[in-house]
Chain A
Amino acid sequence: MEPLTWTGSLGPVLNPAVATAAALAVLIWLARGVLGLIRAPVPAGVGTVTPAGLPATAALRFAGLATVALALAYPLSGFVLPAPEAGILGAMGRQFWPVWLALALTFAVSIRWKRRLALYGKLFDSPIGMVGYAIVMFWVFTALFADLIVTQDPLTQVSGMKNALPGTPVRGAEGAYYLLGGDNLARDVFSRMVMGARRVLAIAPAATAFAFMVGITLGLPAGYFGRRLDTGLSFLANLVLAFPVILLFYLLVTPEIRATGIPVALAAVLFLFPVVFLTILWNSRFFIDPRRRNLYVGITLALGLWAYSGLAFNADPLGVWSMEPNLLNVFVSVVFVNAPTVFRIVRGITLDLKSRDYVAAAQTRGEGPWYIMLWEILPNARGPLIVDFCLRIGYTTILLGTLGFFGLGVSPESPDWGSTINDGRRLLALYPHPAVVPALALMSLVLGLNLLADGLREESLRD
């Protein structure tokens, strides 16, 4: 079989068109940026938008939309044309069909009812936020439907496919291609990238959520009570923050350290916080209604301690919750690195909010300190915390990639993006594709999260 080309039979027609539109868009974009700089029109008020850029903006929007529409023809062509004619982009577009479907559904539903969806709905008023959300959801759906998307098994090595170029047909299999080529061990780069999304998106948000639980549970009382507690906790947080991250990883994520039980001890402490947080949350809310309080706290404790026993000690009697020692080590170190920063943010916001009138009113009503912290201060701090949560998932993704890049704590088979970049970098100058594909994937996910956070920040500031 012939190897696939990037753009297939559409290429000769579509390539010049896309190139022209994209070049035009970039030119206008740059020109607008430079023009806005040189020409300094007297603004109506300093710091407001000037209408001078309007025609350029309209032209930019047109050129940008044209580029996107034309470029979309590549992946969509995969649904119309057979594999050899559709090219690599077309074939990939077809593989991602569940993702396109899910994305279209999500956006249709969200935009239709965006007025009823509070902050989430407002996201669809900001183009930057929408782009970011689309990228993030693309990877989330990719992770969910990874089994449907992959073309090959991500661990199988096919002989003769070592460092194969993108679009090479698989030997001995009719109609099968290595869409993005083969890596150093003759495995399919495309399928590994897709499976890597699942791996990254399983760890990063969960680790970030744990770090937030730890940071919130410690930051609220530190900010609210202050004094000794604040001094002590802040000193501890600064201690962790003064460690260069990479050094901490090298000390915490080694095979030797697992024998000493330090990761398990850390996990035992860190994983307790979500349970504690939720218990205090329900207890303070329903303190005056013992029946509901007992129900909620009971459910939280039963489920929480069940998961806790499995995740931290690998001692779940039913065997549902468990975490490989490797993963536990990575997870714990990432939470440990992130938690102090969250602590500082929460503490700062609490210090600011505790002098508000509604806190004084709650104190006068005789509410307990934990009720005030969790049900008066925390909901009012949600804006900056949600924005930081998005940014921090991106940062955690970068950290996980760093760990993989140094080959720390992950099995060499693992398709996660960091270790694939690490594998690919040895032959980078000769065969760039095994390293560039996961690198671009990681970058686009983090970019999406950053754009999403930016959009959320803008929209939440607007109220």
Chain B
Amino acid sequence: MIGFVLRRTGVIALTALCLTFIVFVLTNLQPNLEKLARTEASSRMSEAEVAAWIERNGYARPMPVRYGEWLGVVPGWTRAEGGTVTGRCTGRAPAPAEAPRFCGLLQGDWGYSTVFKLPVAAVVSRSLGHTGWLMLWVVIVMIPTSLVLGVLAGMREGSPTDRTLSTVAIVTTATPEYVSGVILIVLFASATSGLSPLLAEWGWISGRTLFNGTATAAMEGITFWNFALPVLTIALYGTGYIARMTRASMTEVMTAQYIRTARLKGVSFPQVVMRHALRNALIAPFTVIMLQFPWLLNGVVIVETLFNYKGFGWTLVQAAGNNDIELLLACSVVAVVVVLATQLISDIGYVLLNPRIRLA
């Protein structure tokens, strides 16, 4: 078991290195650097001045070296010009001489965001805090709903309940977040259409709309009215998928010999489901739920843009849209780490949960 975990961790560390290098290359392409030079220094620089700026700020050296510096395994560049010493790490200490030699990811130095004019670490941690709440509520809503739906549908394959719930699941998987978000806003958070005008006319709601169309207020304090729609939008898409997987796993378990044996010896149907089937049926959905997290990240980006909620996804869009290289890199690292961590958890969890798999 320990060997397996170590081996998986090794592969994942290698993957993380490769991925961060790819992201580093893709964000530090020459056109991006030229754009950065123009936005940072002056938009009316000539080609030669741009090249000089890139040279002066240490972007003109080979990609692997710069990647090493960013990671913190290669000493940061320094440059003595006219008596003043500039360098990658000089800004981190009062005098250039006292500056640390290494400053990169491993030293906890994530760089400086050009869009927010703040250290990247601060921006990322603040936005992750916002997204953390969103994810928490999504998970609280999505996982129990989808598991219950899947188990109910799968315990009697082909029954009317199964047909009904499966149709619901298919419809939700066919509705990407940007569609369900738009429809939910129009139905519940528009002053001119959907439910809100009706309710306002009857005097059932005090404001103009039932729910808030933006989640900006939720950053100060989360209420049901400003947070329900974003959470529902993300949860809907995943619910259908997990429910279908749970259903498939449940139907498979329900045809197993030991379920038949339990039925034949007279155990009641609810007992069979609760005692015998559920435990084995929930192994596969565990993996699916874990692997669903990368998709949730997708949903988070869309929903935070749609509802103007300044979390991780919104920050990523801002960083990418404004050529904020270091912030985008940091966002990518976080995203990649989340994906790889969920993969590792799903691998290990599957082995722990499934008694049929034994690893030496």
Contacts and interface: CB of A to CB of B under 8 A. Distances in A.
A118 interface: no
A450 interface: yes
Interface residues of A, number: 66
For A34, A429, A435, which residue has the most chain B Cβ atoms within 10 angstroms? Answer: A429
Interface string A422-450: 10110011111001100110110011011
Contacts of A394: 174
B158 to A, nearest CB: 4
A406 interface: yes
Interface in A376-423: 394, 398, 401-402, 405-406, 418, 421-422
A184 B26 CA distance: 35
Contact of B160 (A53, A250, A435): A53
Contacts of B18: 239
Contact of A421 (B31, B157, B179): B179
Contacts of A245: 294, 298
Given A56-B160, A425-B306, A432-B190, A402 B176 contact: yes
B345 interface: no
A33 B160 CA distance: 6
B339 A242 contact: yes
A425 B182 contact: yes
B335 interface: yes
B46 interface: no
B122 interface: no
A439 B15 contact: no
Contacts of A406: 305, 317
Contact of A247 (B160, B165, B269, B335): B335
A183 B52 CA distance: 47
B189 A429 contact: yes
Given A56-B160, A402-B178, A243 B193 contact: no
Interface string B1-19: 0000000000100010011
B43 interface: no
Interface string B180-220: 00110110011111100000000000000100010000000
Contact of A251 (B27, B194, B251): B27
B316 A247 contact: yes
A45 B209 CA distance: 51
Given A432-B186, A439-B178, A250 B320 contact: yes
Contacts of B11: 235
B160 A432 contact: no
For B27, B193, B254, which residue has the most chain A Cβ atoms within 10 angstroms? Answer: B193
B170 A244 contact: no
Nearest to A260: B29
A256 B35 contact: yes
Nearest to B163: A33
Given A242-B340, A246-B316, A32 B294 contact: no
B175 interface: yes
A451 interface: yes
Interface residues of B, number: 72
Given A239-B19, A428-B186, A259 B335 contact: no
B192 A432 contact: yes
Given A33-B164, A50-B159, A436 B186 contact: yes
For B152, B156, B297, B323, which residue has the most chain A Cβ atoms within 10 angstroms? Answer: B156
Interface in A36-75: 36-37, 40, 42-43, 45-50, 53, 56-57
Contacts of A294: none
A85 interface: no
A457 B356 CA distance: 28
B35 A50 contact: no
Interface in A111-147: none
B30 A260 contact: yes
Interface of A: 29-30, 32-37, 40, 42-43, 45-50, 53, 56-57, 235, 238-239, 242-247, 250-252, 254, 256-257, 259-260, 262, 394, 398, 401-402, 405-406, 418, 421-422, 424-425, 428-432, 435-436, 439-440, 442-443, 446-447, 449-451, 454
Nearest 6 interchain pairs by C-beta = A33-B164, A256-B31, A447-B174, A250-B320, A36-B161, A432-B186
Interface of B: 11, 15, 18-19, 22-23, 26-27, 29-32, 35, 152, 156-161, 163-165, 170-171, 173-176, 178-179, 182-183, 185-186, 189-194, 209, 213, 251, 254-255, 259-260, 263, 269-270, 272, 294, 297-298, 301-302, 305-306, 313, 316-317, 320, 323, 328, 331-332, 335-336, 339-340, 343
19 contacts: A33-B165, A40-B270, A47-B251, A47-B254, A49-B159, A53-B159, A239-B18, A242-B294, A242-B339, A250-B316, A260-B31, A405-B178, A405-B305, A428-B182, A430-B191, A443-B179, A446-B176, A447-B170, A450-B174
Given A48-B157, A262-B29, 11 more contacts: A45-B260, A244-B335, A246-B302, A250-B316, A256-B31, A394-B174, A402-B176, A418-B178, A443-B174, A443-B179, A447-B171
